Amino acid sequence: MRGNEPMLDWEQIFATRSLRMKASEIRELLKLLEQPDIISFAGGIPDPALFPDQEFKQAYADIFSGPQVNAALQYSVSEGYKPLREWIVKDMEKIGIECSVDNVFITSGSQQALDYLGKLFLSPNDTALVTWPTYLGALSAFNAYEPTYDQLNPNGNRTPQTYRDNATKAGGSVKFAYLSADFSNPTGETVDLASRKKLLELADELDIAVLEDGAYQNLRFDGEPITPILALDIARSGGIEKTRTIYSGSFSKTLAPGLRVGFVVAAMPVIRKLVLMKQAADLHSSTINQMAIEHVASRGFDKQVAKIKAAYSARRDAMLAALDKYMPKFASWTKPEGGMFVWVTLPEGMDGAELLAKSLSTERVAFVPGKAFFADGSGANTLRISFSCANEQMIDEGIKRLGRLIASAETTSNATMPLV
C-alpha cells in the first residue's frame, strides 16, 4: 500500500501527441441510436437490414467445415489473405486501376489505412492538405502525428509556392493531399474529372503523395462514373510503380463494417513500408474475416452492391424531396449522386452544435454539426445528415421537424438582433 501518497499524474507523462486526440462527435452520437424515439440522421453507417448475413453465415460454415479452417485460425502474412488480394486486383481493373497482387495491402478497415499513412508521411509540423470540410476520421487519424493543415482547393487561385511557404512557416514541409473523391464524407459531393487532373498537377509541382479515399466508390446512384485519381495517375505515368497516388478502399460500406476489412492499393515502395507497420502494430488483420469477405465478394459482390444502391437511392430521393418541402429558403444543401450524406449550409451566425442540443431536447432529431469536419474550426453554420439508416417515412418526418426547428431558430435570431 502506498498510503496517502499522491496518485500518478498521467497527463504529465503522456506524449504531447495525446493532446491532439479528441473524442469523435460522431461516435458519441451513435449512442443515440439506442433511444427508440430519436430519428437519427447522425451515423454515417450502413443499414444492418441490408447486410448479406446469410451469405456470411454460409461463408463461415464453409471455412469451418473445410481444409481452410486451420489456416483461418492461425497467424498469417502481414500483406493479407492472397485470394482476397487477387479478388481486389480484378475489382480494381473494372475501374481502370491496373495493379498486381503485390500492390494490394489488407488493413483492419480503411481507418487503419489512414492511421498508417499519417504515420508514414507526417513528422511533427509537416503539412497535410485537406478539403474544407473533410472526413473527420482522417483528421483524427492524422492528428496523432502532429501535423499542420492547409486547405486543399485544386480549382483555387493559390500557387504551389503558397503551399510551400505556409508549410515552411509552420516548421515542416507539405507531405500529401488527402481527399474523398466520390460522394465524400461529409458533403456527399464528387470531385469532377478536371479537378482530379489539376490535383495531380499540383501534386507534381509540390512533389507530394495523393491519398485517395475510395470508401464510397461503389455507391453511385446517378450520372456517369468518373475515373479514379489513381487510374488517371497510372494512365499518364505508364504504370502503378510510377504513380504518386495511394488508393484506400473498404468493404464496410458494401458488405459489413464489423469485420473490419479494408485495403490499400499503391506502388511497391509504399506497400513495403505499410507491411512493416503492420508487423509492428498487429501482425495482420483477422484471417478468418478476410476469408469470409473473399467468399462473399467472389460469390455475389455486384448483386449486394445493387441491393444497397437501390435502397439508398430511394432514401436519398426522399431526403432531397423532404428538404425541398420543409427546409426554409435561406438554407442550402448538396444533391449527391451517391454515397450516404447530404450537407446543409445555414446562414452565418447559426450554430449547428446549438441546434443539435435544441433538436435533441425538443424535436428528437439527431444530426452531426459541421464544425468538426473543418481542420481550422470553421463551418459552425453547417451540418451533416445521413439517409442510409432511415426509411422514407422517418426521413420525411425527421426533415419536417428539423426544418421547423431551423426556421424557428432563425426567427428567434432575427428577433434578438439589435436595432441600428
Could you write out the DSSP letters of every residue in 99-130?
A: --GGGEEEESHHHHHHHHHHHHHPPTT-EEEE
Residue 60's identity, in one-letter code, is: Y
Contacts of 185 (CB under 8 A, 6+ apart): 44, 135, 136, 137, 215, 216, 339, 340, 341, 384
- Grid cell for residue 243: 504513380
Of all residues in the chain, the percent with pLDDT exceeding 70 is 93
In this prediction, residue 29 has a pLDDT band, given cuts at 50, 70 and 90, of low
In this prediction, residue 2 has a pLDDT band, given cuts at 50, 70 and 90, of low
- Grid cell for residue 385: 445528415
Residue 174's identity, in one-letter code, is: V
What's the rounded mean pLDDT across residues 226-232?
Answer: 98
CATH T-level fold of 53-300: Aspartate Aminotransferase; domain 2 (3.40.640)
Write the pLDDT tens digit of every residue in 377-403.
999 999 999 999 999 999 999 999 999
Boundaries of every domain in the chain? 15-51+302-414, 53-300
What's the rounded mean pLDDT across residues 179-192?
Answer: 96
CA distance 58 to 35: 32
CA distance 213 to 249: 7
In the predicted model, is pLDDT for residue 417 greater than 60? no
SS (H, E, C) 263-275: EEECCHHHHHHHH
In the predicted model, is pLDDT for residue 1 greater than 50? no
Measure the N-to-C terminal CA separation of the chain; round to a whole number of Å: 68
Could you write out the DSSP letters of every residue in 79-96?
A: T--HHHHHHHHHHHHHTT
Q: Is the pTM of this model over 0.85?
A: yes
In this prediction, residue 37 has a pLDDT band, given cuts at 50, 70 and 90, of confident
Give the DSSP letter of residue 338. Answer: B
In the predicted model, is pLDDT for residue 257 greater than 90? yes
**15-51+302-414 and 53-300 share one fold:** no
Give me the pLDDT at residue 411, please. 61
Contacts of 201 (CB under 8 A, 6+ apart): none
Please answer whether residues 160 and 202 qualify as being in contact, where contact means their C-beta atoms are separated by less than 8 angstroms.
Answer: yes
Please answer whether residues 84 and 294 qualify as being in contact, where contact means their C-beta atoms are separated by less than 8 angstroms.
Answer: yes
CATH T-level fold of 15-51+302-414: Aspartate Aminotransferase, domain 1 (3.90.1150)
**Three-state DSSP state, 255:** coil
CA distance 127 to 110: 21
